[in-house]
Amino acid sequence: MNDQSPGDGAPGFRARAGWTREQAAGIERTAATTAPVFYQPETDQMPHLHIWDTWFLRERDGTLAEVDGYRVCFSLTAPSDLLPGKRHDVAAIRVFYSADGREWHDGGAVFADALGQRQWAGSALYDDGDVYLFYTAAGTDGAEELTYTQRIVGASGGTVDTDDGFDLRGPWTHHELLSPDGERYEREAQSRAMIYTFRDPWFFEDPETGETWLLFEANSPVPEGSDACGGDASQQEFNGSVGIARSPTGDPLDWQLEEPLLDAVGVNQELERPHIVSQDGLYYLFVSSHLHTFGPGLSGYDALYGFVAEELRGDYVPLNGSGLVATNPANAPFQAYSWMAFPHDGEVLVQNFFNYFDFAGDTLDEIAHLPESEQMRRFGGTLAPTLRLTVSGAGTEIIGKLGHWEIPMAGESLPPTERELLARAQADGERGGYGR
């Protein structure tokens, strides 16, 4: 825990709130922020696929939907015989469903005609029987070479039919919703960095105001010669932001760009898959980021980072002082990535995917130097164990984990944590006269 309270945030560069170099300099693994080692699942539920970024079908108010008794999720996927490092080039969105939150079934590729050369992460809305899918169209339609341009797209027209099992079907219509304006959000041509982002749309209804928002990952334009970061151009290249657009009417296909919620100029280039958990009247903003996207002079981890504010567009303060919420253990620093938090039974659960679990090199780039068979063997490509967190004020703590792919059903109580079991055993022992 730490002594910062919501309200003491630092200003950003183009956003009201910022993640500063001083705050990020405090990133360090602690017992409260380090996940246990994850082992391979006993059975791979989807051996035919590499599965990574995943999101749930949710109601407007953020509740995980249960459609006629089915939990539904969407993931970026690629065939499992592909070299894992190549998967982003062919990513396609598939749907999975489960009647018990443990055993999942492949409902197939969602689109035959999506925009972009491949589709990257997003979110999904279940609105009174209508399914909307928000995703990133990556690459230029029709181009022969792979390109890295990114647009935010909404697909409408989805419905679920459970008369005979589970069937998500269209016909889908793909609407280009947002592209960067070059002012608040950097265009690819303005980027000075090696990685460029305008992606990962995430639908959010503000419980306080009822307003409808779309969060996304972006970069804040920092013009050459700017005095940001004391004029240090090598730091200015690292300009990640959490973007936001508002729907004036609540229509999930009508969005207007607004100023970013938070930016990290000089700190980090990629604030990935931003999303919010509301709890105790506070807004917990979470992002995933990588060790290699921190600016010069800073070191972080592949981890879930978070911030808290009293309002959606408030003065975000990094959780636990530095922003670090959940990282991988030092001996398996790349075991998981792409964390997505959601409230359940008084805790915050975090789903993530099982990444390079058997690799302790300095950076993920080194993976590409291993023989292909080793790259395949060390890659999980499935959902990782779900983490359990407690979240209170500006502090968080990892208190345990559930199984791979385990996403409890609505109303399901969580089992006691290992710590609770130990405490109970000790208390029982003491009562029986064995306690010492």
* Burial grade of 32 (CB within 10 A; 0-12, 13-18, 19 or more): middle
Q: How far is the CB of 364 from ligand FRU (least distance, A)?
A: 11
How far, in Å, CA of 110 to CA of 47, rounded?
19
What are residue 123's DSSP bridge partners?
A: 134
Q: What is the dihedral of CA 357, 360, 362, 364, to 10 degrees?
A: -20
CB of 288: closest distance to ligand FRU in angstroms?
6
Nearer to ligand FRU, 337 or 357 (CB): 337
Q: How far is the CB of 93 from ligand FRU (least distance, A)?
A: 10
The per-residue DSSP string of 359-418 comes to ---SSGGGGGGS-HHHHHHTEEEEEPEEEEEEEETTEEEEEEEEEET--PPTTPPPPPPH
Q: Looking up tokens 């059903």, which residue turns up?
A: 409
Whole-number Å distance between alpha carbons of 382 and 54: 10
In sequence order, the 6+-apart residues with CB closer than 8 A to the CB of 115 are 137, 141, 151, 153, 174, 176
Separation CA 9–CA 315 (nearest Å) = 5
Q: Which two tokens stand for residue 343?
A: 């409230």
Is the CB of residue 149 less than 8 Å from the CB of residue 188?
A: yes
Q: How far is the CB of 140 from ligand FRU (least distance, A)?
A: 16
Active-site annotation, residues: 53, 272
Nearer to ligand FRU, 25 or 111 (CB): 111
- Residue 69, token pair as written in the block: 């008794």
Q: Which is nearer to ligand FRU, 4 or 136 (CB)?
A: 136
Do the Cβ atoms of 75 and 133 come closer than 8 Å? no
Q: Which of 91/309 has CB closer to ligand FRU? A: 91
> Residue numbers of the site for ligand FRU (CB under 6 A)?
52-53, 76, 88, 91, 120-121, 136, 199-200, 217, 272-273, 337-338
Q: Name which of 4 and 288 has its Cβ closer to ligand FRU.
A: 288
Residue 120: CB minimum distance to ligand FRU, A: 3
Instruction: Please give, one letter per residue, the 3-state secondary structure of 350-364.
Output: EEEEEEECCCCCCCH
Question: Closest Cα to residue 326, out of 299, 300, 356?
Answer: 300
**Segment (H or E) for 238:** none
For ligand FRU, the closer of residues 65 and 91 by Cβ is 91
Smallest separation (angstroms) from ligand FRU to the CB of 54: 10
Q: Tell me which DSSP letter residue 268 carries.
A: B
Nearest distance in Å: CB 326, ligand FRU = 15
Residue nearest to ligand FRU (CB): 120
Nearer CB in complex with ligand FRU: 98/136: 136
